[in-house]
Each structure stands twice: as C-alpha cells, then as structure tokens.
Amino acid sequence: MYKIHIFDTPLTIVSGKSGDDYNKAMKQGSLVAPFPGKKKFLLHYIDLLEKTDDHPGVVLVASDVEDAVELLESLFERIDAAGGLVERKDDGKFLFIYRMGRWDLPKGKVEKGESIPEAALREVEEETALDDVELGDQLAVTRHTYKLKSQRILKYTYWYKMQSKGKAARPQKEEGIEEVRWMSLEEFMDNETYLTYETISNMLRSDEPGHAI
C-alpha cells in the first residue's frame, strides 16, 4: 500500500480489493478505480484532486504497486524534508506551530550534505528557538504534494520523536510562524478549531511508530 496526499486529499495505491486500507477507504467514500498503467490516467486524478476537495480520497487498484508508484512519482519534482514531534519533559505536552492559517509541526527542507536526522534537529531548533532538543526514534514518513508556480512538487517529510525541557520556545517569525504552543494530543485532536493538515492528523492518530502515511 502507498499513500500520498494531493494537496490535502489522500490518493492510495493498493494491490487488490481487500485489506484494512482498502476497506477503510471504502467506508470513507473514496473513489475507487482499477489502474491501467497509463500516465494519462494518473494525471486525470491528480488534476481532479488539485482542483477540488469534494472527494474524501481516491483509491487505485494496481496489479503492480511498485510500478504504479514509480510512474506516479515521476510526475513530480521530489523534495525531502524533516521535522519533529517535540515532547516537553515535565508534563508530556507537545509543541505545535501556527503558520499560514493552520497548526503544524516544525519541519523544513534537508540541505545538501546534511543527514535527515541532522536536518530534523536543525529545523526544529530554528523554528522554535529551543536549544536542548533531543532526537528520538523515527515516527513516520508523510508524502504530500503542492504546486510551485507550474511545477508539481512531491515532499517526503521524515518525522522524529523529540524531547526538550521546553524553556523559552518562540516562533521563527521570518519563516511565517506566528505562534508556538504546547498542547496535549487530546487537546489538539479534540478541538475542531485547530485546523491542521490531514498528514499531521493521521500521523498523530496512529500508534504504529515508523510507518509511512
């Protein structure tokens, strides 16, 4: 199974009409179609999801998932990013950032010559001003797309568990971050006014460390 978010809507590629992922997608009312192995077919659904959020998702049933994924990703320019879910040591709350009208987690692009874990730590420290962040296990890998002018971008984001004493956290204003806030997962997930991205909410609901969403 492979899942990518086209803007904020999931497109899933599965090998057959069975399994938990397929059944969950069906319950959510996703569009389901057999994948014929053609680029034009993929572009149709990508274009559909870029233009409207009327559908809860799209599920493509492919005879060869790897081939379908390779063809899909060839339609985008890939960027790697890394970030973290930072837990405050004294009370177990987590650090969220507010940017561009949504709550998110600190993250940013992996720079040339930098390892993914190094990038995750650097980006979290830069965006939150924390100077004592400790890197933990990898939490998840998310994939989402967006457009930069006319170029379609696919961003792989590698997420890590992190810890900090949480002293003097502040937003990196020059990166458009308006606020940082410590919250429990329950507080964040149960408050409908906290608008976030599907990739983030899906990751926070999961209890399977290291999975790809």
What are the pLDDT digits (tens) for 96-145?
999 999 999 999 999 999 999 999 999 999 999 999 999 999 999 999 99
Comparing 162 with 212, the larger pLDDT belongs to 162
CB–CB of 93/170 below 8 Å? no
Whether 207 shows a pLDDT value over 60: the answer reads: no
pLDDT at 208: 45
What mean pLDDT, rounded, does the chain reach?
92
More confident residue, 97 or 202: 97
pTM of the model: 0.90
Round to whole Å and give the CA distance between 32 and 112: 39
Q: What count of residues does the chain have?
A: 213
Paired with 159 in beta bridges are 83, 140
Report the percentage of the chain scoring pLDDT > 70: 95
What's the maximum distance between 2 C-alpha atoms anywhere in the chain?
Answer: 54
Helix, strand, coil shares of the chain, percent, nearest 5, are 30, 40, 35
- Count other Cβ atoms within 10 Å, centred on residue 20: 8
Domains in the chain with CATH codes: 2-73 (no CATH), 79-212 (3.90.79.10)
Distance of CA 17 to CAs 35, 68, 85, 122, Å? 12, 16, 34, 42
pLDDT of residue 26: 73
Residue 205 — pLDDT band, cuts 50, 70, 90? confident
Are 117 and 108 in contact, with CB atoms under 8 Å apart? no
SS3 (DSSP) at 188: helix
> Are 93 and 183 in contact, with CB atoms under 8 Å apart?
yes
> Could you tell me whether strands 31-34 and 94-99 are parallel, antiparallel, or unpaired per DSSP bridges?
unpaired
